[in-house]
């Protein structure tokens, strides 16, 4: 087993090497510059579009409301990445890793915006008349038949990656935190989780969206409130904590306590990797949900989509990071969800129960959202008939993930994230001119463009 672990660690280190970090951050920076900082400048506009998109509009094409599309994509991102992922990043890369998570998020807003714009513009209707889209479609329809293989490559990687980032990792983290707080065996957690997930995913995207729009805002508000109470109780230490995060990002931290990686490179590598795991900007997963939104206009959904990265990493991950640093538990030797649970329990009476409940509900919604991402990729490759078998396999692997070793599961998830990101980022760069043109046209008309031609298929 040790040989397998060493091999996976080597592969992860390779795929998350300098080339991947340059591709991820470089793509986000390029899109941010090309959009003239629009995702940051128009953040308020995005929130207004989100509020307006709460209501069902039967006169617009799509399957779910813009609000449901965002909560579905948020349900896939606000989860173990915010709770266990932040803790793991700090353990492996030091507090400075949080700074690089912030950088990833700021440029990732432009990436997420571009993904959603292209997903809506180049979406199709499947054999059942439902709107479907994502990187495999905007690569195929936007770049033409010569690049269809790249879209296929994304679909293959994403279909398999879903079992890591959206399935086994989630189940593993839930089993870990439940066992820590309730002493429940991992196998029991796996059985219950698998049964509940099946009841939701069997209803498809509309049932998933209805669950997400109720659970995600409620649980996010509870988690954020708990974190803010801890931060408020330690408000005098916040400037020093923020200073430590920024300083360590450029100087590294001495290898003490639970640190496994202390150099600047460790902070950058684990900060970016966990940042992407948290907000998924560049992976190509979120646009699969946004492609199903009821809207005539790609830009409108893009401005809603970019909020996901801001809320996920700039807001929720920062709260998690500050609670861990302020309570001083980051050098305890704990890692993952257990570390965050310890921080909340240390800073707030009964705070560990917020993390326990948050882990369970966040991971649950992440699992059901990622099941949709995976099945859409499987359907793209093999047709709609593969969806039902895929769902059964999904449920079985949930149980396996619950009893697997945390380190190995995280490493595999890191590798698969990189593999699915590469085709998507290439597609985004190749189609960036389209994104820039659509955006300029929309805002030149005062954001009043009611319709943008969609699809080429």
Which of residues 37 and 276 earns the better pLDDT score? Answer: 37
Which of residues 327 and 258 earns the better pLDDT score? Answer: 327
Q: What is the pLDDT of residues 333-376, one digit of tens each?
A: 787 778 898 999 999 999 988 988 888 898 899 999 999 999 99
How far apart (Å, rounded) are the C-alpha atoms in residues 133 and 118?
A: 9
Per-residue confidence band for 263, with pLDDT thresholds at 50, 70 and 90: low
Among the listed ranges 7-16, 211-220, 245-254, which one has the minimum average pLDDT value? 245-254
Per-residue confidence band for 457, with pLDDT thresholds at 50, 70 and 90: very low
Per-residue confidence band for 330, with pLDDT thresholds at 50, 70 and 90: confident
Task: Give residue 164's pLDDT.
Answer: 85
Strand partners, 124: 132
Tokens of 326: 């302020």
Strand partners, 64: 293
Q: What is the pLDDT of residues 367-419, one digit of tens each?
A: 999 999 999 999 999 998 999 999 999 999 999 999 877 677 778 877 887 89
Strand 131-132 and strand 124-125: the pairing is: antiparallel
Q: What is the pLDDT of residues 87-141, one digit of tens each?
A: 888 888 888 899 999 999 999 999 999 999 999 999 999 888 889 999 999 999 9
Total residues belonging to the chain: 457
Which architecture, in CATH terms, is 2-444?
Up-down Bundle (1.20)
Task: Give residue 259's pLDDT.
Answer: 45
Residue 262 pLDDT > 70, yes or no?
Answer: no
Mean pLDDT over each residue of the chain, to the nearest integer: 88
3-state secondary structure the chain: CHHHHHHHHHHHHHHCCHHHHHHHHHHHHHHHHHCCCHHHHCHHHHHHHHHHCCCCCCCCCCCECHHHHHHHHHHHHCCHHHHHHHHHHHHHHCCHHHHHHHHHHHHHHHHHHHHHHHHHHCCEECCCCCEECCHHHHHHHHHCHHHHHHHHHHHHHHHHHHHHHHHHHHHHHHHHHHHHHHCCCHHHHHHHHHHHHHHHHCCHHHHHHHHHHHHHHHHHHHHHHHHHHHHHHCHHHHHHHHHHHHHHHHHCCCCCCCCCCCCHHHHHHHHHHHHHHHHCCCCCCHHHHHCCECCCCHHHHHHHHHHHHHHHHHHHHHHHHHHHHHHCHHHCCCCHHHHHHHHHHHHCCCHHHHHHHHHHHHHHHHHHHHHHHHHHHHHHHHCHHHHHHHHHHHHHHHHHHHCCCHHHHHHHHHHHHHHHHHHHHHHHHHCHHHHHHHHHHHHHCCCCCCCCCCCCC
How far CA 354 is from CA of 117, 282, 361, 415, 431, in Å, comes to: 35, 30, 10, 30, 42
Residue 84 pLDDT > 90, yes or no?
Answer: no
How large a percentage of the chain has pLDDT more than 90? Answer: 59
Task: Give residue 234's pLDDT.
Answer: 94
Task: Give residue 380's pLDDT.
Answer: 97
Task: Give residue 406's pLDDT.
Answer: 60
Q: What is the pLDDT of residues 191-239, one digit of tens each?
A: 999 999 999 999 999 999 999 999 989 989 999 999 999 999 999 999 9
**Model pTM score:** 0.90
How far apart (Å, rounded) are the C-alpha atoms in residues 311 and 65?
A: 19
Task: Give residue 450's pLDDT.
Answer: 47
How far apart (Å, rounded) are the C-alpha atoms in residues 122 and 133?
A: 7
Residue 453 pLDDT > 80, yes or no?
Answer: no
How far apart (Å, rounded) are the C-alpha atoms in residues 227 and 288?
A: 31
Per-residue confidence band for 265, with pLDDT thresholds at 50, 70 and 90: confident
Task: Give residue 56's pLDDT.
Answer: 62
How far apart (Å, rounded) are the C-alpha atoms in residues 195 and 267?
A: 38
Residue 315 pLDDT > 90, yes or no?
Answer: yes
Task: Give residue 422's pLDDT.
Answer: 94
| Best-predicted range by mean pLDDT (10-14, 203-207, 253-257) | 203-207
How far CA 256 is from CA of 196, 246, 250, 261, 263, in Å, comes to: 41, 19, 18, 10, 12
Task: Give residue 335's pLDDT.
Answer: 78
Task: Give residue 451's pLDDT.
Answer: 46
Which of residues 284 and 58 earns the better pLDDT score? Answer: 284
Residue 255 pLDDT > 60, yes or no?
Answer: no
Which of residues 298 and 88 earns the better pLDDT score? Answer: 298
């Amino acid at each position: 087993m040790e040989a397998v672990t060493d091999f996976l660690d080597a592969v992860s280190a390779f795929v998350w090497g300098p080339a991947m970090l340059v591709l991820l951050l470089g793509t986000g920076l390029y899109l941010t510059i090309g959009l003239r900082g629009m995702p940051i400048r128009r953040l308020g506009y995005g929130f207004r579009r989100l509020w307006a998109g709460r209501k069902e509009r039967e006169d617009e094409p799509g399957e779910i409301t813009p609000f449901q599309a965002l909560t579905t994509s948020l349900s896939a991102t606000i989860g173990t990445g915010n709770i266990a992922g932040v803790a793991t990043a700090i353990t492996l890369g030091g507090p400075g890793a949080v700074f690089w998570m912030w950088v990833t998020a700021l440029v990732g807003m432009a990436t997420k915006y571009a993904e959603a714009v292209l997903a809506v513009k180049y979406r199709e209707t499947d054999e059942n008349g439902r709107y479907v889209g994502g990187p495999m479609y905007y690569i195929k329809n936007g770049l033409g038949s010569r690049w269809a293989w790249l879209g296929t490559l994304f679909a293959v990687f994403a279909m398999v990656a879903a079992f890591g980032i959206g399935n086994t990792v989630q189940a593993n983290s839930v089993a870990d935190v439940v066992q820590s707080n309730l002493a429940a065996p991992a196998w029991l957690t796996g059985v219950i989780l698998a049964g509940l997930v099946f009841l939701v995913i069997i209803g498809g995207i509309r049932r998933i969206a209805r669950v997400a729009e109720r659970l995600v805002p409620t649980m996010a508000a509870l988690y954020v409130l708990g974190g803010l109470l801890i931060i408020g109780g330690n408000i005098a230490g916040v400037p020093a904590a923020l200073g430590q995060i920024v300083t360590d990002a450029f100087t590294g931290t001495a290898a003490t306590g639970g640190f496994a990686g202390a150099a600047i490179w460790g902070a950058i590598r684990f900060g970016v990797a966990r940042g992407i795991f948290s907000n998924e900007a560049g992976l190509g997963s979120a646009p699969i949900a946004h492609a199903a939104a009821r809207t005539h206009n790609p830009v409108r959904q893009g401005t809603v989509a970019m909020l996901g990265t801001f809320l996920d990493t700039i807001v929720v991950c920062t709260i998690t990071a500050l609670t861990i640093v302020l309570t001083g538990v980051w050098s305890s030797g704990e890692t993952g969800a257990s570390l965050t649970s310890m921080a909340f329990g240390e800073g707030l009476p009964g705070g560990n129960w917020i993390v326990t409940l948050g882990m369970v509900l966040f991971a649950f919604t992440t699992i059901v959202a990622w099941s949709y991402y995976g099945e859409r990729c499987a359907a793209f490759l093999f047709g709609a008939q593969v969806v039902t078998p895929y769902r059964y396999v999904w449920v079985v692997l949930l149980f396996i993930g619950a009893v697997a070793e945390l380190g190995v599961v995280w490493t595999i998830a890191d590798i698969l994230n990189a593999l699915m990101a590469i085709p998507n980022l290439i597609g985004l760069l190749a189609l960036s001119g389209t994104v820039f043109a659509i955006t300029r046209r929309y805002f030149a008309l005062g954001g009043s463009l009611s319709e943008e031609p969609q699809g080429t298929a």
